[in-house]
Amino acid sequence: MTFRSSLGVGTTFRPGFLGVIAFVVALAVTGMLVAQSEREELRIRRAELADQSGDKAHEIENGVRHGLAATYALAALVRQGRGVVPDFDAVATEMLRYYPGADSLQLAPGGVIRQIVPFAENARAMGHDLLADPGRNKEAFLARDTGELTLAGPFPLMQGGIGAAGRLPVFLDDENGRPRFWGFVTVLIRFPQVLAKAQLPQLTKRGLHYELWRVHPDTGLRQIIAASSEVPLVDPVDRTVMTPNGTWTLSVAPIDGWTHKSGLVLKLLLGLIFSSLLGWLAKQMGELRLHRHRLQALVDERTTALAARESKLGALIGSLPDQLFVMDDAGRIVEVHSPDAALLPRDPADILGSSYDEVFPPPAADGIRAALTAIRGDAQRREFEYALELPVGRRKFSASMSQLSGGDGRPAGFIALVRDVSERELAEEKMREAMVVFDASSQGIMTADANGIITSVNPAFCSITGYSAADVIGYTPAMFKSGRHDAAFYENMWATLEKVGRWEGEIWNRRKAGDVYPQWLTISAVRDETGRLIKYVSIFSDMTRRKQREEVIWRQANFDALTGLANRNLLNDRLERALAHSHRTGKKAGLIFLDLDGFKWINDTLGHDVGDEMLIEVAERLKECVRHQDTVARLGGDEFTLVVDDIADVDDLQIVGDKVLRIICKPFLLAGANRYVTGSLGITVFPDDGDDVQTLLRNADIAMYKSKQLGKNRCQFYSQDMQEAARLRVQLETELRMAIERKEFVLFYQPIIDAERGCVSGAEALLRWHHPSRGIVAPDEFITIAEDTGLIVPIGAWVLSEVLRQANAWRIRGLPPLRVAVNVSGVQFREQGLVEMITQASCTPGFDEITLVLEITESVLMQSSEVTEARLREIGLLGIEYSLDDFGTGYSSLSYLKRFPVGHVKIDRSFVNDCTDDRNDALLVEAIINMAHSLGLKVTAEGVETERQRAFLRARNCDYLQGYLISEPLPAADFELFVLRNGSRTPLTRVPACPKHPAHD
């Protein structure tokens, strides 16, 4: 028997050999089919086993969850009873009847087991601290921190046996409405009782082994919960059992293995029989074909010529839409066809009979030559491309060339089919460009068909949404819905698309991770030439960062960076809304202006970081004073405002103000110690005190300053007369600044005498303002304003300089040595430049022979810090003494006298005035003198105006006297005459009475 090979070479096969080949092939195919059958049976069996084990896993999961569900009911009882379950034993016993999976119920307030039902078999667990047990507290902490039910175990129970514990944390609201951790409600499930519902032994009856296991969370090892055999399972089917905060696995495998050996042997035997039969039939057919071969060979010879002609004709007809070239073996073109003659390099008549390299330009001819050479070598079809410059322009062609066979099967020339691919190339180029843009775009791009089914997405889409292309293709965009938009939003979107073919706007969608984010989305509808909708193209960008930047900008523009409170900008907006609301409802609205008293001292002495801590704490305290609907704002520095709207009575504002004062007065733990400040509050009411924001703010500020003038740490409602007072204060502040520039201040000196000898020992320098129109102005009219505005610092510097200059002038003119006292404000002591200023003043000529005394009040010592104390001692090293002024009017703490370098105390005039008539004042003055002397301090009594007072003080051994009995405050020249007239060692002669000037102590 002869068969024709692909090379055209005749090969003879004997019929017996053909039968052997058929047998071998059939045997191989049969073996493959048997193997495929075994694999399919194994797949079906594993699928069936997976269904069975899945049912059991579901039953186990239901059994465990049903048992654990008791915790939710028990937790509800605990919350209902505010931490107490009345008649817990009876309730729990009844609950166990409805939760078969639960073995016992427990209450663990604070994490410690206090109640158990049933008690007898679980008594050993009583008092067990779930949070303190290092071996089992991991799930307890997880439950407390997440607020979710957790399952611990299985593990050996303290009361015996194996079990697992479900723990549900319970949170109760405290008096402020904040959730507070109460403890756990616990349900105990035992093994294997909790698995009874799953009836796992039925698997063994069905010829299956099983294992229920988990990976231990602490050791990472496999922990067997239940198993039908100790022998490891072979290639089991695993099904997951979901439990709170973990998973178990149910593994199942056949007892006798996965393969049925008897069935496999039977299949192989049948395959062998079938292969043998097929080999025999092939041998028979070979012998039959051998008889018919001779006749068929004659028929083939007669039809070869006809087949060659039909091949040429079929190729020509099949190529009619394209160009066709037929060439002989030498490469001459013998036939040509083109649907458009303009696409040929020459006229068709000139092409016929010409060699291809005569017709086509060199680049195209080279391609044809290479194809002919390759085809002659292996007779395989070749494809190539070439370009021609034609009258219609540059065109590109794709050619497919094959070899023609003659009637005898030998090569008989070549045929080439040529197609104009210029348009296709242009389209492909555009497509490549589009794909580059599609892939490289930073915006997400998605296409969908006319039914809204997603057909493609670009990499940016995947990067933004977290979905891969496989996750979304074939689905609708509804999978991205965030839930923020209602049905009307989407109806409007689709209506716009239908009407104008385009929709653009902001939309919130959901990422694969579940978080919702904003998009700027553009959807375009694409239609064909007939207007039929064929697809949608969506382009979007992630607006998350833009939204975040807008949020940051908005917060920076509306909130205080330090405290997180509303700033002035947001305050104006909130206040405008409150006024509008009050106007609509007819109710009142209040504005409370708070300024901290003493904050500047803390900020200057303890540092700005400590001051910032106080401001943050003040902000938190203020928020506790108002309702959620009210506004607390920080205007800057230590100024705060509270907007309280929707009030029916002005007294409500007084209540809020009093509450603010109370919380501000509470100590602040700063820099390791308690610090104290107070608050001055100004209150205005809409519409009584103003009908616009700026008026209310201005009037509240005026009321606040009135509060400070009245002694601070108080509330002050605005009244009309405050407006004039505020105007006068502003005017006085302006004139005070001009007075500094014009040097309108003068100093008066009030003599201080030795009480025993009656001679002049020194003087107190008292400041006066020589006003150009009002004359001499006493300091009590302007010192407070000077301290509030900080003008006291340059004024104090001038006073010190003038005192030293005058004292040196007296020394030069021969006056005896005198102690000159200068009042120093607490504001000056908080200034860092005080030490430097006094140090420079110490360089004044004659300073070493001048005894300078700085008079300070008890408030300076009381508010002092380590920095202030160091500053006092540093100044003292320059030879400067300290006198504690107005002693007895403040806290009068002995610790101040012991701690600070004070050498003198001055008894306040309020005690001296009545010391001869009021027994209490007399005892107090005597006590002060005795106490000061016991500490080694000198005592000066001020405000001495009568002989009886002088006699009383001398009898109590007071060291120095000062007051109008001795002399009123005198100008420098008069004081010099006073000293020269009375001397420093001779008894004092009282000067004639003259008009009194109020002294500033």
481-538 per-position pLDDT tens digit:
988 899 899 899 889 988 888 999 889 999 998 898 899 999 999 888 888 888 999 9
| Average pLDDT over the chain, rounded to an integer | 83
Q: What is the CATH number of domain 441-548?
A: 3.30.450.20
CA 528 to chain centre: 48
Query: Is-contact 186 165, C-beta < 8 A?
Result: yes
| CA distance linking residue 345 with residue 348, whole number of Å | 9
Query: Is-contact 1000 781, C-beta < 8 A?
Result: no
| CA distance linking residue 519 with residue 540, whole number of Å | 6
| CA distance linking residue 983 with residue 977, whole number of Å | 10
User: Which bin fits 637, alpha (ψ -120 to 50), beta or left (φ > 0)?
Assistant: left
Residues 6+ apart with CB under 8 A from 482: 508, 509, 510, 516
Nearest to 403 by CA among 518, 490, 341, 315: 315
Q: What is the DSSP letter of 4?
A: E
Peptide bond into 459 cis (omega under 30): no
Query: Is-contact 367 388, C-beta < 8 A?
Result: no
| Homologous superfamily of domain range 319-421 | PAS domain (3.30.450.20)
| CA distance linking residue 632 with residue 642, whole number of Å | 5
pLDDT, average across residues 100-114: 88
Nearest to 122 by CA among 93, 157, 96, 89: 157
Nearest to 510 by CA among 483, 538, 532, 550: 483
| Homologous superfamily of domain range 559-719 | Reverse transcriptase/Diguanylate cyclase domain (3.30.70.270)
**For 239, phi and psi rounded to 5 degrees?**
-130, 135
pLDDT at site 991 = 37
Per CATH, 441-548 and 747-766+790-982 having the same topology is answered no
C-alpha dist (Å) from residue 531 to 368, 501, 534:
45, 11, 9
| pLDDT, tens digit (0-9, with 9 covering 90-100), for 956-997 | 999 999 999 999 999 999 999 999 887 654 444 443 333 333
CA angle at residue 14 from 8 to 19, to 5 degrees? 110
pLDDT, average across residues 865-883: 78
| CA distance linking residue 738 with residue 140, whole number of Å | 73
| pLDDT, tens digit (0-9, with 9 covering 90-100), for 289-309 | 777 777 777 767 767 766 766
| CA distance linking residue 402 with residue 399, whole number of Å | 10
pLDDT, average across residues 34-56: 83
| CA distance linking residue 301 with residue 294, whole number of Å | 11
Is a pLDDT exceeding 50 seen at residue 402?
yes
**Joined tokens for residue 973:** 């020249």
| CA distance linking residue 247 with residue 237, whole number of Å | 16
What class, spelled out in words, does domain 747-766+790-982 have in CATH? alpha beta
| Homologous superfamily of domain range 58-254 | CHASE domain (3.30.450.350)
| CA distance linking residue 415 with residue 418, whole number of Å | 10
| pLDDT, tens digit (0-9, with 9 covering 90-100), for 756-768 | 888 999 999 999 9
- In 152-166, which positions are buried (b, 16+ CB within 10 angstroms) versus exposed (e)? bbbeebebeeebbbb
Domain ranges of the chain: 58-254, 319-421, 441-548, 559-719, 747-766+790-982
Specify the pTM.
Answer: 0.39
pLDDT at site 640 = 94
